[in-house]
Amino acid sequence: MANLTSPIINWGGPAEPTSVAVIVPFAQIADPDVIVYTGVILTMPAVNQLVPPAPTPDAGLFVFQRSAVDSSGDVLTDARCEVRRAEDNVLADIFEDRDGLTQKSNPFFVDDEGFARFYAAAGLYTVRAFTGSFERILENVLLGVRLEDMPDLTPLVTPIIEALIEPVLEEIDEQIAAVPEIVKFSVSAGGLISDAPDGWTATTVSSGRRRITHNRSTSNYNVKLTVWDPGSDRLYSAMMIAKTSDTFDYQTRSIQDEAANDGARVDIEITFG
């Protein structure tokens, strides 16, 4: 550690490291006198951008730059600089440029004017400058903006998102409600219903006349009947007889002989809405 009787290296320049990241302070966001634009600019993909991702060399780095001087203000041109990650004290990956194209040696010498500069990903670092028997350690040097340092914007953002999404969801619900529902099923020649929704029934009212009970409690539906030749020499027709909010009746008849009313399968298609 530093010898208190000897000159101590001091870092010149601003008190905090220079960073290429700029954010709006939370106090200004919450200040009712500060106008924050909240127009329709937040699409769902943009919501994920409210909190920036952790920087990587490809996405840009953050800069640390200071001058090394002694207690008298004299520049120390022979100082070396060592950078470690604060969380595990491991030598950090540092770079010569903001885009991370050229890695910088760690530790490294300051330049001829005693100036030290390096770029690194966002995080907390321990920066140590030393020359001879003297050293100066800066702990918890913050570069950039870490996710854990971001203010919780959920109480502010949630009402904005809800206000934007609610009309869209209502419109989608209306469009879905406007789409007609189509139900298809069959009734055999013997009156057995198949492929119908649960609870639907087919009842024989009289010869050739069937009653379908659907219990939808609506009269806003249309029925399409398709009668199939059972493989005999007869041809059949089918027609609607009666319709209520929960049931409808249809009649099958032999075209050649109306007395032969049974013997044909009917495919039924109902359109609700």
pLDDT of residue 60: 64
Taking residues 148-156, report their average pLDDT: 77
Taking residues 235-240, report their average pLDDT: 85
pLDDT of residue 26: 46
User: In this predicted model, which residue has the larger pLDDT, 70 or 184?
Assistant: 184
Domains of the chain: 10-166 (no CATH), 181-272 (2.60.40)
User: In this predicted model, which residue has the larger pLDDT, 222 or 149?
Assistant: 222
- Residue with structure tokens 């952790």? 54
Instruction: Please check whether residue 13 is in contact with residue 67, taking contact to mean a CB–CB distance below 8 angstroms.
Output: yes
pLDDT of residue 170: 87
Chain-centre distance for alpha carbon 143: 28
Is 214 a residue whose pLDDT tops 60? Answer: yes
Q: In whole angstroms, what is the distance from residue 269 CA to residue 186 CA?
A: 9
User: In this predicted model, which residue has the larger pLDDT, 17 or 112?
Assistant: 112
Taking residues 197-224, report their average pLDDT: 91
Q: What percentage of residues in the chain have a pLDDT greater than 90? A: 34
- 158-205 pLDDT, tens digit per residue, is 888 888 898 888 888 888 877 888 999 999 888 899 999 999 999 999
pTM summary value: 0.38
